[in-house]
Amino acid sequence: MKAAYLQNSQIHVGEVPDPIPAKGQALVRTHSCGLCASDAHFVHLGAKVVEISRQYGGPYSNLDLSQIIVPGHEYVGEILDYGPGSRRPLKVGAKVTSQPVMRHAGGHSVIGQSHDCPGGFGEYMLLDENTLMEVPSDLDDDLAAMTEPLAVGLEHARSGEPTRDDVPLVIGCGAIGLGVIAGLKLMDMGPIIAADFDENRRNIAIRMGADVVIDPRELSPYGPIHGLGNRRATLIYECVGKPGLLNQIMNSVGFGARIVIGGFCLEPEPLYVPSGQMRRLKIFFAAGEEQQDLDLALRSIVDGKVDIKSWLGGRIGLSGVAAALDAMSSAAAPVRTVVDPRRM
C-alpha cells in the first residue's frame, strides 16, 4: 500500500507491506486522517518518547525507530474484510472509526504508533473489531475523523470533576483545549475562560463555547476577571505542554484551585511543593479518551451540538505530510490538517 511513514526520524512516502488481518481484526481502507501534535512528537522527539516509555512503562517500549511506523490515529475508513474467525460485528462496506488501540494477549498496541498496526497515513489499517464504531454514511469524512481528538478533550474536561460553582480556565486553544471547552459546554458548565496567544484560536474558542477569551500578553488569566464580576478561575486546564507552565499556574492561582494537566510535556518539570501546599491545590493528570468519550464525541458531531468545522484547515495527500507536521508548531497552522492517503 501507499503510505507516509516514519523511519529514522524522517517522514518518507512510498510503498509498505499491506496489513493482513488476524482473528478479531478488521481490514479498513482509510478515507481521512487528522494530523496530531503527537505525530510531530514522534518525528522530532521519538527517541525520547521511547526512552520515557521504557523507563516508566508504556506502549512504546518495544518500538524500533529504525523500522517503519505508519502514523495516524484520528481516522475514518471503510471496512474491507475481517481476519479468519472474527465476529464481524459490522458489515463490509460500513464507514467506521474507533479508539486507536489494538488489544492482544498480554497488552495492547496504539494504532499509528506501533509496527504491527499501521495508522491512517496509509491506504489500509487494521482495527480491533471490538472497538469499531459505525459512522453515518452521509457524515463528511473529515468531520468524522475529528471524533478522536474531540473525545480526548471531552475526557480531559470531565477529569477535572467540574461543578456548577467552578469557573473553568482553559490554557491553550489547540485541539485538546478546544475539545475541553466543548466538553464543558456540553456539561453546561461556565462561565468558561480561554487563553491563547493567537487571535484565530481565541475566535474558535468562542465558537466552541468560551464566554471570555484572553491574550495572556495583555491580561493574566489567573487573576480576577472584570467581565465576570471579578471572579477568578477555580479549575484550570493546562493544554499546552510547555516546561515551566505548571509552575506558573501553581504560583498564580487562588486558594483551593484544581489543575488538570492535559498538555504532553516531554521535559522535566521541577515543582516547588510548598507553593501547592500553601494554596491547597489539587492536580489531575488527564490521559487518552475512553469509549464513553468517543461515543459522545461522535454523537455531538453528528447532531451538530459541537460544530467542529472551524478546526479544519486543509486536506492534503501523502506528499504533504512531512511539511504539514513541520508546520504544526506555527501559530498560523490550522487546528487540524487532514490527510487523504488515497492521494499522493
Mean pLDDT value of segment 117-143 = 97
Check pLDDT > 80 for residue 107.
no
At 14-49, the pLDDT tens digits run 999 999 999 999 999 999 999 998 888 888 877 777
Could you give the CA distance from residue 280 to residue 303 in angstroms, rounded to a whole number? 41
Lowest pLDDT segment from 100-109, 134-143, 299-308: 100-109
Q: What CA–CA distances, in Å, run from 65 to 105, 162, 164, 222, 239?
A: 23, 40, 46, 41, 27
Average pLDDT over residues 143-164: 97
Proportion of the chain above pLDDT 90, given as a percent: 80
Confidence of residue 301 (pLDDT cuts 50, 70, 90): very high
End-to-end CA distance of the chain: 12
pLDDT tens digits along 204-240: 999 999 999 999 999 999 999 988 888 999 999 999 9
Cell of residue 284, nine digits: 489531575
Q: pTM, whole model, 2 decimals?
A: 0.94
The residues near 315 (Cβ < 8 Å, ≥ 6 apart) are 32, 142, 337, 338, 339, 340
pLDDT digits (tens, 9 = 90+) for 246-258: 999 999 999 999 9
Residue 65's pLDDT is 87
Cα dist from 257 to 161, 170, 215, whole Å: 12, 13, 21
Instruction: With residue 194 as reference, give the H or E element that holds it.
Output: strand 193-195
Whether the Cβ atoms of residue 168 and residue 192 lie closer than 8 Å to each other: yes
> Is 230 within 8 Å of 202 (Cβ atoms)?
no
Determine the number of helices (DSSP H) and then strands (DSSP E) in the chain.
9, 17
Q: How far is CA 10 from CA 45, 200, 323, in A?
A: 11, 30, 11
Residue with cell 505530510: 321
pLDDT at res. 234? 97
